[in-house]
Amino acid sequence: MAGNKPSIFVAFFVVLLSIKAIFVSGQANTDAASTHYVMLPPSSTGQERVFCLARGACHNKRLVCPTQCPQRKPKKNKKIKGCFIDCSSKCEVTCKYRKPNCNGYGSLCYDPRFVGGDGVMFYFHGAKGRDFAIVSDTNLQINAHFIGFRPNGRTRDFTWVQAFSIMFDTHSLVVGAKRVSHWDDDVDVLITRWDGEELKVPTDGEAEWRIDYGERVVVVERTDTTNSLRVTVKGLLEMDVKVTPIGEEENRVHNYRLPPNDAFAHLESQFKFFNLSNLVEGVLGKTYRLDYVSPVKMGVPMPMMGGEDKYQTPSLSSPLCKVCRFQKQYGFPSTT
């Protein structure tokens, strides 16, 4: 038996890595088959129905949204849950709110607080007016632009994320919030740009903008009347984002001492990723590596992640930083 100990150890280590891979995959990736369906006419009660095209257990199955959430895209997103259809091996429909979960995997909210792909919460303050690589892989780069304020007597800025630039293939998609002096829930302050051109997302019908080029489909859809979007890039990511201000009570509780002529409109977001490599970089991206071990100090109120110097980029649209890996892709594998 003594001679077999090294092989037993190696086998055990491989099993552990496999278990972790399954766990990370479950949190980091959504099966592309989950949305591989065609719409059918709704039922007589108004419940939306689909015909699943994905291979596997759900192939050629019909799924119907439950009465509790009969539509995929309800108009009153804050009060009504949407129907989530999954044609992958799960073959199920569930009711969920279509908005970021700031305590969920892949979230980035508040005075930037992250929850990584490993489930560990941490803060990354960056600096006001600067841009940082949140995710950097060979086929995907996500930069974030930070806004902020430093009251007298403080040694660092209070910061929030005001915009994202998502770069993939030869394209870029920017999602951000306009600067406003006073907040109004009924006024849409979202900014969206596709390859540098302003993008108008419809407010009626499917309430979405989409582009389909070859194997890649990009969809930007409204998940509420104002200030709330879902971005889907087939084979790469899904992102829920909403714009929110710093309210008077939040300003008081955290002692931000913000000037009265700026609502500090910023983004709350949550990401799901498809097919990240195990060499992925970025403040958030590296937490999805299979061998990642968080360096932040646990058990403290604000566990901090450093690395501003490694992740700072020259601009929101630049894929360059000390550890960035992105390369423009002029061709990419099929995502079907």
Q: What is the spatial distance between Cα 190 and Cα 192, in angstroms, rounded to a whole number?
A: 7
* CB neighbour class for 19 (10 Å; exposed up to 12, middle 13-18, buried from 19): exposed
Predicted confidence (pLDDT) per residue in 25-58, tens digit: 334 334 456 778 999 999 999 999 999 998 889 9
How far CA 284 is from CA of 22, 32, 205, 310, 325, in Å, comes to: 19, 22, 34, 13, 14
The pLDDT value recorded for residue 80 is: 80
Closest CA to 124 of 256, 321, 285, 330: 285
- What per-residue string of b and e applies to 176-202 under the rule 16 or more CB within 10 Å gives b? bbeebeebeeeebbbebbeeeeebeee
The pLDDT value recorded for residue 331 is: 55
Per-residue pLDDT tens listing for the chain (336 residues) = 445 545 444 444 443 444 344 334 334 334 456 778 999 999 999 999 999 998 889 999 999 999 999 998 886 655 688 898 999 888 999 998 878 999 999 999 999 999 999 999 999 989 999 999 999 999 999 999 999 999 888 888 999 999 999 999 999 999 999 999 999 999 999 999 999 999 999 988 788 999 998 879 999 999 988 999 999 999 999 999 999 999 999 999 999 999 999 999 999 999 999 999 999 999 999 999 999 999 999 889 899 999 999 999 999 999 999 999 999 766 554 333
The pLDDT value recorded for residue 169 is: 94
The pLDDT value recorded for residue 78 is: 55
Predicted confidence (pLDDT) per residue in 152-199, tens digit: 888 889 999 999 999 999 999 999 999 999 999 999 999 999 999 999
The pLDDT value recorded for residue 8 is: 47
Q: Residue 282 gets which letter from DSSP?
A: S
* CB neighbour class for 246 (10 Å; exposed up to 12, middle 13-18, buried from 19): buried
Q: In degrees, to the nearest 5, what angle opens at C-alpha 300 toward C-alphas 299 and 304?
A: 115
Confidence (pTM): 0.81
The pLDDT value recorded for residue 239 is: 97
